[in-house]
Amino acid sequence: MIYELRTYHIPDGRMEDILDRFRTVTMRLFKKYNMDVVGFWTVDQPETEHALIYLMRYPDEEAMEKSWASFRADTEWIATRERTEADGPIVNSVESKQLVATDFSPM
């Protein structure tokens, strides 16, 4: 089992836009492509750091790569991204880190 920690750095004033996109489209597409979401978080000081952070779980790296490739090629995702970013990007940058649980982790 591997975990992927993703941090989206959000432009000022666009947090509600990214949250809405996840609520209305992205979560459903994640499920469609067997992408297991462990949880989502925002930073507790949104006035100084605009970030959306989430943790994903996959059986292995191959499953992760296959899921992301399918998600990124999905026509609904492509149309949604174009629509939601018509007034400019809602993500400045994305950090992705693969995590491997230690032998003593409760995960």
Yes or no: say if 38 and 19 are a contact pair by the CB < 8 Å rule: no
Query: pLDDT by residue (tens digit) across 22-61?
Result: 999 999 999 999 999 999 999 877 667 789 999 999 999 9
Query: Residue 50 is encoded by which pair of tokens?
Result: 């605009």
Summary mean pLDDT of the chain: 94
Domain chopping of the chain, boundaries: 2-92
Distance, CA of 11 to CA of 51 (rounded, Å): 9
pTM score of the predicted model:
0.89
Between strands 93-99 and 2-9, the pairing is: antiparallel
The residues that bridge with 98 in the sheet, in sequence order, are: 4
Which fold is adopted by the domain 2-92? Alpha-Beta Plaits (3.30.70)
At residue 28, φ and ψ (nearest 5 deg) are -65, -40
